[in-house]
């Protein structure tokens, strides 16, 4: 075989590619002529073998092909048929890849009454202490997570945290991206461990679910909304460009009535200050005469004269 690989100059593969009639005759021995179609190609298997492909017209196998493998032991040896099989082509309808049963069950498939056993070597679980002869230990075993055959392993905790972090209640969800704040600062967030907690807000879509500390929704406890009137009120605008302003008339100020004594004194003063009538001018020019001093009486002197006149 090594000698053939070294000395082959392509003649062997050429002879194998030309053996179309031999390959078709081999297919007709296994299937009828009505189930074999045209020759579609040849695939090289190795240095001394190749596979001829024919269209398969078998009912229920649309897109499948007949594969006939031929081989040549040497340049002087005849070509022989190794096998005839039916294989799927690029457009063939095939069943999905086989998946083990324990890997077929997905989240949400478990229904009422269904039982799903756990593998013995499940990496999500770790052995725990189950029994103790000390009553004091048994009393607190449940509270500390003991008293069970298995507990969650470190791998199980990390796997759950990663699944919840990338799930519906993680920071990359649409709800969290549009939220005003995260669960870590919300009053309805109950911390569990690490970056995980539970939501207790009945309005939130995450109520009763384990959420990531970086998740968020529109029901955050620190959201404050300004309450305004349901009827929109436009801002008032005062237009004074068309208004005419006129000054108001001034009202005379009220003067207090004077006392009797002040009235008499004012009368004497007015009489004294009254202007003296000027004499009409004559044709002759009179020498200037100094005006006589006008003697005015005070209010007290006038009162005394009045009293003396009444006595007479």
Q: How far apart are CA 54 and CA 68, in angstroms?
A: 8
| Residues forming beta bridges with residue 53, ordered by sequence position | 41, 67
| Per-residue confidence band for 279, with pLDDT thresholds at 50, 70 and 90 | very low
Angstrom distances, CA of residue 75 to CA of 15, 44, 244: 9, 17, 122
- The confidence score (pLDDT) of residue 282 equals 46
| Per-residue confidence band for 253, with pLDDT thresholds at 50, 70 and 90 | low
Indicate the average pLDDT of the chain: 76
- The confidence score (pLDDT) of residue 208 equals 86
- The confidence score (pLDDT) of residue 293 equals 46
User: What percentage of the chain carries pLDDT values higher than 90?
Assistant: 7
- The confidence score (pLDDT) of residue 1 equals 44
* CB proximity list for 12: less than 8 A, separation 6 or greater: 4, 47, 48, 72, 75
Who has greater pLDDT, 103 or 147?
103
| Per-residue confidence band for 300, with pLDDT thresholds at 50, 70 and 90 | low
* Residue ranges of domains in the chain: 2-88, 119-152, 154-212
User: What percentage of the chain carries pLDDT values higher than 70?
Assistant: 65
Mean pLDDT value across residues 7-32 = 83
Mean pLDDT value across residues 6-19 = 75
Distance of CA 30 to the CA centre of its chain: 64
Burial 77-91 (b: 16+ CB within 10 A, else e): eebebeebebeebee
- Span 118-164, pLDDT tens digits: 888 888 888 776 666 667 766 677 666 666 778 888 888 888 888 88
Q: How far apart are CA 194 and CA 167, in angstroms?
A: 17
Mean pLDDT value across residues 156-175 = 88
Burial 286-303 (b: 16+ CB within 10 A, else e): eeeeeeeeeeeeeeeeee
Place of tokens 């001829």: 52
- The confidence score (pLDDT) of residue 144 equals 67
Q: Which of 229, 228, 230, 190 is nearest to 211 (CA)?
A: 190
- The confidence score (pLDDT) of residue 53 equals 93
Name the DSSP letter for residue 74: S
- The confidence score (pLDDT) of residue 71 equals 92
- Span 230-242, pLDDT tens digits: 666 666 666 666 6
The tokens describing 247, both together, are: 């000054």
Who has greater pLDDT, 122 or 275?
122
Q: How far apart are CA 77 and CA 75, in angstroms?
A: 6
Mean pLDDT value across residues 256-260 = 58
CB atoms under 10 Å from CB of 215, counted, come to 31
Which numeric CATH code is attached to 2-88? 3.10.450.630
| Residues forming beta bridges with residue 46, ordered by sequence position | 49
Place of tokens 């009409």: 280
- The confidence score (pLDDT) of residue 84 equals 92
Q: How far apart are CA 58 and CA 35, in angstroms?
A: 5
> Does 245 score more than 80 pLDDT?
no
- The confidence score (pLDDT) of residue 69 equals 92
Mean pLDDT value across residues 57-67 = 89
């Amino acid at each position: 075989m090594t000698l053939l690989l070294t000395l082959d100059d392509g003649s062997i593969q050429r002879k194998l590619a030309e053996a179309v009639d031999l390959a078709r005759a081999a297919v007709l021995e296994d299937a009828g002529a009505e189930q074999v179609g045209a020759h579609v190609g040849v695939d090289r298997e190795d240095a001394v073998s190749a596979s001829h492909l024919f269209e398969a017209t078998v009912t229920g196998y649309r897109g499948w092909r007949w594969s006939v493998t031929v081989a040549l032991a040497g340049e002087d040896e005849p070509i022989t048929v190794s096998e005839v099989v039916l294989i799927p082509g690029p457009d063939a309808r095939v069943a999905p890849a086989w998946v083990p049963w324990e890997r077929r069950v997905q989240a949400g498939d478990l229904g009422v009454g269904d039982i799903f056993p756990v593998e013995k070597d499940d990496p999500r679980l770790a052995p725990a202490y189950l029994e103790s002869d000390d009553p004091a230990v048994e009393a607190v075993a449940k509270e500390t997570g003991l008293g069970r055959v298995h507990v969650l392993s470190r791998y199980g905790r990390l796997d759950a945290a990663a699944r919840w972090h990338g799930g519906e209640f993680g920071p990359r969800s649409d709800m969290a991206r549009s939220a005003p704040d995260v669960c870590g600062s919300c009053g309805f967030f109950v911390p569990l461990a690490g970056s995980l907690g539970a939501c207790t807000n009945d309005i939130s879509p995450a109520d009763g679910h384990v959420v990531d500390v970086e998740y968020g929704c529109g029901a955050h406890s620190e959201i404050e909304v300004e309450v305004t009137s349901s009827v929109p009120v436009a801002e008032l605008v005062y237009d004074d460009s068309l208004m005419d302003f006129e000054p108001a008339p001034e009202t005379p100020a009220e003067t207090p009535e004077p006392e009797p004594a002040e009235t008499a004194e004012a009368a004497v003063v007015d009489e004294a200050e009254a202007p003296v009538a000027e004499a009409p001018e004559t044709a002759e020019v009179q020498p200037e005469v100094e005006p006589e001093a006008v003697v005015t009486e005070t209010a007290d002197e006038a009162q005394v004269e009045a009293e003396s006149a009444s006595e007479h």
